[in-house]
Structure 1
Amino acid sequence: MDDNKEIESLLLFHSAVLILKTMAMSLLTACYRMKNKVIATPEDAFYMPTGRCVRDDPEVERVRRTHRNDLENIPIFLAAAYIYGMHCNPSVSTFAWHMRIFTVCRIAHTIITVSAVRQPYRSILWTVAWTVCLSVCAQIIQFSYDSMGQL
């Protein structure tokens, strides 16, 4: 397999895993809502007449915050990874390690956050994933700068 195809395959695989992981958070929120009999809006009482419409259930809010954190971080990384992989000619191993580390950190971050594992683990995982995204962006800028010099 040539390098471009390998990078494309890595991008597709990790993107799908991260997208499915983010989508799963909606289902997890629904599960916690049902378990704790918490509804999001008064009209949801149609489905759960014994549910209470509150915004302060600790478990539901923990899952919602984790989902929101995914929505703040994963799309940015996927956009940067696409630009980096498709336009900056990275080595396959460098690209693969960026994708693997980010994906593993985000999955572990979710498990640790939803499970309420005490700090510093959640912060460490978030920081590592953020640093990977920063690295990708720095390499895009470097590639762009080098390319401008050749014009």
Structure 2
Amino acid sequence: MAVMVAADPVLPAFMLCSTLLVIKMYVVAVITGQVRLRKKAFANPEDALRHGGPQFCRSDPDVERCLRAHRNDMETIYPFLFLGLVYCFLGPSPLAAWLHFLGFFMGRVVHTIAYLGKLRAPIRSVAYTLAQLPCVSMALQILWEAARRL
């Protein structure tokens, strides 16, 4: 495996972007926890009791925003992890692969910043759409290659 990674620049590019995306998801999870603590809005009664009482087992708009950002990450990043890995095995040009991986990564970072920062519309929607374009491209290339080999 190490020889393949060293000889092929596409897989390391995917590994870098994928790992950064997973770290970004962890950061959103930590932010969610911090917002819960700051706003005293806990999902579980035992957490509310530990932090002030049962009245703090409640929802909060800012916590819900963090949760939606995290859910959106799961809905988009998990498919990217699959598509990107399969795409690596198609033998794409390193430049094309980097553009796909970096485009998705940057779109997701901007999407998260726009979501959590409550930036004006349509920044978040544009970032979402731009991040999805590389996924659509990779999916179509995978389908084409799979159909070609049938």
Q: TM-score, normalised by structure 2?
A: 0.90
Name the CA distance, whole Å, in 2 between partners of 1:9 and 1:113. 29
1:43 aligns with one of 43, 46, 50: 46
1:49 partner SS: coil
Deviations, residues 78-128 of structure 1 (Å, cap 9, x unaligned): 10000011x211111000000000000001100010011121111111111
Matched, 1:54 2:48: no
Q: Which residue of 2 aligns with 1:89?
A: 91
Name the CA distance, whole Å, in 2 between partners of 1:100 and 1:116. 24
Matched, 1:139 2:141: yes
1:34 partner SS: helix
Q: Which residue of 1 aligns with 2:66?
A: 63
One-letter amino acid of the counterpart of residue 39, structure 2: N
2:102 aligns with one of 88, 100, 103: 100
Contact 1:42 1:53 in 2 (8 A): yes
Contact 1:112 1:122 in 2 (8 A): yes
RMSD across aligned C-alpha pairs, in angstroms? 1.8
One-letter amino acid of the counterpart of residue 64, structure 1: L
Q: Which residue of 2 aligns with 1:76?
A: 79
Name the CA distance, whole Å, in 2 between partners of 1:16 and 1:136. 19
Name the CA distance, whole Å, in 2 between partners of 1:46 and 1:6. 52
Query: Matched residues, percent identical?
Result: 32
Show structure 2 runs of 5+ residues with no match.
none
Contact 2:5 2:12 in 1 (8 A): no
Matched, 1:112 2:149: no
Show structure 1 runs of 5+ residues with no match.
none
1:39 partner SS: coil
- How far the C-alpha of 1:22 sits from its partner, in A, is 0.9
Q: TM-score, normalised by structure 1?
A: 0.90
Q: 1:4 to 1:97 in 2, by over 3 A?
A: farther
- How far the C-alpha of 1:65 sits from its partner, in A, is 0.3
